[in-house]
Structure 1
Amino acid sequence: MGESPRAGQGDGRWDGGLLGAEQSALVASWLGSPKLVADLSWGLVDTKVLHVQAPTGQFIIKAGGPDNHHLGRELVAHRAYTRSLVECGRAGRLLHADPGANLLVMEYLEGRLVEGAEAELAPPTYAQAGGLLRLLHRQEFRIDDRYELQATAKSLAWLDRAHRIDPAVEREARRRLAEYRPQPATVVPTHGDWQPRNWLVHRGEIRVIDFGRFDFRPAATDLCRLAVQQWRGRPELEQAFLDGYGRDPRSAPSWRIDLLQEAVGTAVWAFQVGDAAFEDQGHRMLREALQLF
């Protein structure tokens, strides 16, 4: 996930120039004498994720540029909707924040990424993940008359951008999106990227990171990425998750549209940021989503 610390680069600051000057100074004012342990950033967008050591312990620093909206979403999540996860030790606590600087300091959580580990294919992982998602979702619900309309418009806007989707597939996707009749939707607090790359495992316990895509959406949307990845051909993982969650929030025809919208966003976004493997997955998702109609 991360890269080695790049000490010695930048202008001599503790962070090696990875953060902006104001961000670096703010972290130092909050933590004393921080030292960079590792750069855990994905590198596809401008969000920086740094593991640091300070006199009072270890921390995660998250920072973005002025046009980065993920930190704002994460701040909303941690200020209002992660308490139940934090209190049971399954999510990191927000310790410091400066919205103007697009900067957060989080409690460091022990653990390794579930993605790529043995736990990624273990049913108990998904039973825990389902239970944790239930804690997040059950806090609040709203009826949103415009959610489905806006989600459809967003997918069509994605298709207006540069991409490498086959023209026939694009035409079919546009047709299915255009013919769908949006309905009022029940929306809940969602993570937005609920999958093993955002889960840690520590002594058999699953923990959750990265709320940068937090928003109010239908509960089923948090199942989209699992359905097209880890659950493909592994019904035991899907069932373990649903057992942990307590029910299946998916219902047709909205689930088909959820999958189609997820596929469109994946294929176009991945092309935009140059992630070829994720783009290929998006194209597969599109073909499979259209087969459901």
Structure 2
Amino acid sequence: MSEATARPTALHRWAERQISGTARARNASHPRDNSRVWQLVRADGRRFYLKVAATARSYERETFALRHAAPALGGGRAPQLHASSAEHLALLTAALPGRPAGELPLTAAEEYEAHRQAGLLLARLHTAGDLTGHWRTEAEDALNTAAHDADRHLEAAGHRLTPEQRTLVRYLADRLRQVGPLPLGFIHGDARPGNLLWSGHAAWIGFARSRFAPVVQDFVALACGAWLDRPRLRTAFLGGYGRELAPEEQHVLTCLVGLDAVRALTPRAAHDDPDAAERGHRTLHRLMTGVLA
């Protein structure tokens, strides 16, 4: 990564053509192997972010989101796509003010307001886009897909799970296959404090997992993280979102949280996120003891 940012490459030459000038590049990648992000600062001080998607699918998802759904959040509330390149799997966006909420020393009042605005913005996102045709079909089948993936995650987690935990997860996956219709919409797909910018105003970034799906799937990362020990943040978020979860959505959320906990125990998740395993064990313990239901 440092070599790539230190000398011109075809990718960076493409980016400089798009921003009409040379730029100083700073590596802004996350600490995982498939993260490739640079901050570009033009001579006049204007900042951009150049991101290479990990896969063609994530490139397509993020490009679609920034073109067709994220604008519904309002100006300055999501990245504005400046240019994209299918050849490089690259997206170039104008920089937004703020830093990830999870990295800031926020006061209790600031954190509450950040999560309230986060909920408000996701409510707008969930009604964006054209939910027709194959998009609707994919959204309606999303819970079956999640249930099917559970077996793969159980196998990958291996000895990290007890027999009782395996039984619970299989039960939760089976319950997902029996769920009736749920509210559908365009979801962010990775809605967590690390992707929530705060500058006094909230903004969402990181749309590589965005898609049409049951909207409750957008609450899994929060339920496994920020909401676990701070229920007031859930109250703030849902206050901004504009409604409480329906009973069937809460049931589905519990099932999805269990499946996500298993995914967090897989070697790949642990490689990408050193805290994933601890979070997964803690979530499963709460499910087993009935604290999280």
Under TM normalisation by the shorter chain, which class is it?
0.7 to 0.9
Closer, same or farther: CA 215–145 of 1 in aligned 2, 3 Å: closer
Distance in 1 of aligned mates of 2:18 and 2:250: 49
Closer, same or farther: CA 275–163 of 1 in aligned 2, 3 Å: farther
* Aligned equivalent of 1:230, options 226, 229, 234: 226
Closer, same or farther: CA 176–91 of 1 in aligned 2, 3 Å: closer
Distance in 1 of aligned mates of 2:274 and 2:187: 27
* Aligned equivalent of 1:275, options 273, 276, 284: 273
Structure 1 residue 125 displacement after superposition: 1.3
Structure 2 residue aligned with 1:178: 174
Closer, same or farther: CA 34–137 of 1 in aligned 2, 3 Å: same
Structure 2 residue aligned with 1:100: 87
Higher helix fraction: Structure 1 or Structure 2?
Answer: 2
- C-alpha contact 1:62 1:71 (8 A) present in aligned 2: no
Tell me the SS of whatever aligns to 2:226. coil
* Aligned equivalent of 2:238, options 235, 242, 246: 242
Structure 1 residue aligned with 2:210: 214
Structure 2 residue aligned with 1:198: 195
- Of 25-34 and 237-246, deviating more is 25-34
Structure 1 residue 283 displacement after superposition: 1.9
Structure 1 residue 195 displacement after superposition: 1.6
Equivalent residues in 2 for 1:114-193, closer than 5 Å = 114-119=101-106, 121=108, 122-140=111-129, 141=131, 142=136, 144-161=139-156, 163-168=158-163, 169-178=165-174, 180-183=176-179, 184-193=181-190
Structure 2's unaligned 5+ residue stretches are none
Tell me the SS of whatever aligns to 1:232. helix
Percent identity between the aligned chains? 24
TM-score by structure 1 length? 0.84
> 1:228-259: CA deviations, max 9, x gaps?
32223333222111111100235243222121
> 1:64-97: CA deviations, max 9, x gaps?
35x4532222111111101122x33211200000
Structure 1 residue 151 displacement after superposition: 1.3
- C-alpha contact 2:219 2:253 (8 A) present in aligned 1: no
| Aligned residue type for 1:280 | E
> 1:146-189: CA deviations, max 9, x gaps?
22211111122222325552232224312432354333444211
- C-alpha contact 2:270 2:277 (8 A) present in aligned 1: no
Distance in 1 of aligned mates of 2:57 and 2:176: 29
Tell me the SS of whatever aligns to 2:185. strand
- C-alpha contact 1:163 1:271 (8 A) present in aligned 2: no
> 1:9-47: CA deviations, max 9, x gaps?
35xxxx226x9x4322311322321211x3221131413
The alignment status of 1:260 with 2:258, answered yes or no, reads yes
| Aligned residue type for 1:156 | D
Distance in 2 of aligned mates of 1:236 and 1:167: 32
CA-based RMSD of the aligned residues comes to 2.6
Structure 2 residue aligned with 1:286: 284
| Aligned residue type for 2:106 | A
- C-alpha contact 2:157 2:265 (8 A) present in aligned 1: no
Tell me the SS of whatever aligns to 2:244. coil
Distance in 1 of aligned mates of 2:204 and 2:272: 26
Aligned length, in residue pairs:
277
Structure 1 residue 215 displacement after superposition: 1.3
